[in-house]
Amino acid sequence: MAFHLMQRDRVGAGVLVQALSEALQTIQHCVQCNNFTEAPLCELCNSERRDAHLLCVIETPADLLMMEQTHAYRGMYFVLMGRLSPLDGIGPQEIRLDRLLDRATDGVTEEVILATNFTAEGEATAHAISELLRPKGLRVTRIARGVPVGGELEYVDSGTLAQALLERRPTSR
């Protein structure tokens, strides 16, 4: 990209410099949800139309966009900006679990929904957060694991099918 800019798009390089340095100066982490924002408190945390009793923990800002696209969630968020990954030297300090603890025990939050990925690191992160928050008397839940909507048994991997079977639930009326 650097070679391309130097050789063929020096004007574009200037625009990029401008944009990046502006971003460096204005973009910060929201003091409440840890997402990227230009104000100290982001728009979502500042909104009065969100349900403050629910706190959804996710790994990245991209995951927050995905959650919002479902239009099924009206609560607050906490963005970890990563996941536990001991092999890469990322422990509880690096993903700021202390700040999550402060956020979750603010007296308003009643339920913490763990929506980290269903990868090994995401599951370990969810487990660690659950162990951290459950003793504080908070209701800690995990989003469901199973067969995707529209999925056919024949094309689902056997690990997912085994989990779906294990986590079966009574049919509703």
Which of 42, 67, 84, 97 is the binder for a second copy (CB under 8 A)? 67
Q: According to CB under 8 A, which one of 79, 97, 126, 132 is a site residue for a second copy?
A: 126
Q: Which of 72, 93, 135, 137 binds a second copy (CB under 8 A)?
A: 72
CB of 149 to a second copy, least distance (A): 4
Task: Using the CB atoms, write b or e for 12-35: b if 16+ within 10 Å.
Answer: eeeeeeeeeeeeeeeeebbebbbb
**How many residues make contact with a second copy (CB under 8 A)?**
56
Interface of this chain with a second copy, residues 25 to 64, rule: CB under 8 A: 58-60, 62-63
Nearer to a second copy, 7 or 69 (CB): 69
C-alpha radius of gyration, the chain, whole number: 20
- Rounded to 5°, the CA angle 26-27-30 comes to 120
* Cα separation, 56 vs 27, whole angstroms: 22
